[in-house]
């Protein structure tokens, strides 16, 4: 039997897939708001059917973008609470109310986390700092904007972040806040690193060994920063921790269409050429100075333990949508 979903839900699914909604934090918030729409639209009167409906919508959301772990974690947050209510015999109304409340509380904690990360991260920034950032991370921007609001005299180098040019979003925001910014091509990071004294990047996932998954190019930037003894800080909410990496589940690195890199007509004339377009890469914890979270600043080896404590992952039920 085919299940139908509300149109608004499908349009959020499409927005995430096509990257009109992007960035790990935003993806997570949008996905569970979409789940709330599904919950509200349920017209049946059967508790089991409701649970199945929510689980199947969750699986659709999980398939939108595979790498940002904030998405499954946000779903876990809602589904843990929903299943608890279901097992304790809650009525359909109570189940819907649980979805509603937990979506709202996740969105609130996520926005609050961004604010706290801004506060903690800004403490690491000194007057006169020249910062490099890559891609477009709301968590990193929160730090830079707070440092600027604290009247620190700073400037930023932002990479353009090919092939999707998320760096253009970053420079627009920095410009709005009056932060002096230089846009550079991704391959110029080595050329400019001697001018930089701190690197800040966001996170799509932090693995159990403290490794970072973030926008493609982060790994190269980390190596260059290391070569120049420039500290690299990661801005990551605790819900960027990947709980299943603890059991050796391999992170999924999204590979996007070659058409983002080269036009299909050009490529079709090159018989021996193929294009690879991974959207993310993995940076070893050895290159990470510290991870700035909403509950403090931690060494990458400590962050996973802190995240587990804050998020309260249930290792017995890591895939509640199944
Ligand atoms: C975005 C990206 C960002 C992280 C963190 O990739 O790699 O650095 O998602 O962002 P994409 P935030 O544009 O492919 O989604 O701090 O906003 O969660």
Query: Which residues 6+ apart lie within 8 Å of 278 measured at CB?
Result: 216, 253, 254, 255, 256
Give the pLDDT confidence score for residue 89 in this predicted structure.
98
What is the token pair recorded at 305?
A: 């333990």
In the predicted structure, residue 1 carries a pLDDT above the cut 70: no
> Of all protein residues, whose CA lies closest to atom 11 belonging to ligand 1?
23
In the predicted structure, residue 147 carries a pLDDT above the cut 90: yes
Is any ligand 1 atom within 6 A of the Cβ of residue 158? Answer: no
Question: Does 135 participate in catalysis according to the annotation?
Answer: yes
Average pLDDT value over all residues in the chain: 97
2 falls in which pLDDT band (50, 70, 90)?
confident
What's the average model confidence in pLDDT over 130-153?
98
What spacing in Å lies between the alpha carbon of 239 and ligand 1's midpoint? 13
- Percent over 70 (pLDDT), the chain: 100
> Of all protein residues, whose CA lies closest to atom 12 belonging to ligand 1?
137
266 falls in which pLDDT band (50, 70, 90)?
very high
In the predicted structure, residue 8 carries a pLDDT above the cut 70: yes
- Sheet containing 212-215: give its strands across: 205-206, 212-215, 280-283
Three-state SS annotation for the chain: CCCCCCHHHHHHHHHHHCCCCCCHHHHHHHHHHHHHHHHHHCCCCCHHHHHHHHHHHHHHHHCCCCCCCHHHHHHHHHHHHHHHHHHCCCCHHHHHHHHHHHHHHHHHHHHHHHHHHHHHHHCCCCCCCEEEECCCCHHHHHHHHHHHHCCCCCEEEEECCCCCCHHHHHHHHHHHCCCEEEEECHHHHHHHHHHCCEEEECCCEECCCCCEEEECCHHHHHHHHHHCCCCEEEECCHHHECHHHHHCCCCCCCECCHHHCCCHHHHHCCCCCCCCCECEEEECHHHCCEEEECCEEECCCCHHHHHHHHHCCCHHHCCCCC
The gap between the terminal CA atoms of the chain, to the nearest Å, is 18
Tens digits of per-residue pLDDT, 71-104? 999 999 999 999 999 999 999 999 999 999 999 9
Chain centre distance of CA 322? 23
What spacing in Å lies between the alpha carbon of 231 and ligand 1's midpoint? 20
Give the pLDDT confidence score for residue 135 in this predicted structure.
98
Pocket test for ligand 1, best of 111, 167, 215, 232 (most atoms within 8 A of CB): 215
Is any ligand 1 atom within 6 A of the Cβ of residue 134? Answer: no
Atom of ligand 1 nearest to the CA of 140: 16
In the predicted structure, residue 66 carries a pLDDT above the cut 70: yes
- Neighbour-count burial of 244, counting CB atoms closer than 10 A to its CB (0-12 exposed, 13-18 middle, 19+ buried): middle
In the predicted structure, residue 294 carries a pLDDT above the cut 70: yes
Per the CB < 8 A criterion, the answer to whether 321 and 225 are in contact is no
What is the token pair recorded at 186?
A: 């991704």
CA distance 24 to 315: 22
Tens digits of per-residue pLDDT, 156-170? 999 999 999 999 999
Give the pLDDT confidence score for residue 163 in this predicted structure.
98
To 5 degrees, how large is the angle CA 35–CA 135–CA 201? Answer: 90
Given phi > 0 = left and psi -120 to 50 = alpha, else beta, which region is 135?
A: left
For residue 56, which phi and psi values (nearest 5 degrees)?
Answer: -70, -35
Tens digits of per-residue pLDDT, 200-251? 999 999 999 999 999 999 999 999 999 999 999 999 999 999 999 999 999 9
Pocket test for ligand 1, best of 135, 170, 278 (most atoms within 8 A of CB): 135
Atom of ligand 1 nearest to the CA of 141: 16
Question: Does 15 participate in catalysis according to the annotation?
Answer: no
Is any ligand 1 atom within 6 A of the Cβ of residue 22? Answer: yes
* Of 45, 135, 186, 281, catalytic: 135
């Amino acid at each position: 039997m085919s299940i139908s979903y509300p149109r608004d839900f499908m349009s959020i699914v499409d927005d995430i897939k096509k990257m009109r909604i992007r960035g790990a934090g935003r993806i997570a918030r949008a996905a569970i708001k979409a789940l709330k729409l599904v919950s509200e639209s349920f017209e049946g009167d059967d508790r089991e059917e409701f649970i199945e409906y929510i689980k199947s919508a969750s699986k659709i959301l999980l398939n939108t973008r595979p790498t940002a772990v904030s998405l499954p974690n946000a779903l876990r947050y809602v589904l843990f609470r929903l299943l608890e209510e279901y097992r304790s015999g809650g009525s359909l109304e109570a189940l819907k109310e649980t979805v509603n409340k937990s979506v709202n509380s996740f969105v609130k904690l996520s926005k609050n986390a961004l604010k706290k990360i801004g506060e903690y991260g800004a403490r690491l920034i000194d007057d006169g700092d020249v910062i490099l950032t890559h891609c477009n991370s709301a968590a990193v921007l929160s730090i830079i904007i707070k440092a600027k609001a604290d009247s620190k005299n700073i400037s930023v180098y932002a990479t353009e972040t090919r092939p999707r040019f998320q760096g253009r979003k970053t420079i627009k925001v920095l410009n709005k806040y009056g932060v002096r910014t230089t846009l550079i091509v991704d391959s110029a990071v080595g050329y400019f690193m001697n001018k930089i004294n701190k690197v800040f990047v966001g996170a799509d996932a932090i693995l159990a060994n403290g490794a970072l998954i973030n926008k493609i190019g982060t790994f190269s930037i980390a190596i260059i920063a290391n070569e120049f003894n420039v500290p690299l800080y990661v801005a990551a909410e605790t819900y960027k921790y990947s709980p299943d990496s603890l059991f050796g589940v391999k992170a999924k690195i999204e590979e996007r269409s070659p058409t983002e890199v080269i036009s299909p007509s050009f490529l079709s004339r090159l018989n021996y050429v193929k294009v690879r377009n991974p959207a993310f890469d993995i940076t070893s914890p050895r290159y990470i100075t510290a991870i700035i979270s909403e509950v403090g600043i931690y060494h990458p080896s400590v962050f996973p333990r802190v995240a587990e404590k804050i998020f309260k992952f249930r290792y017995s039920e890591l895939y509640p949508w199944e």
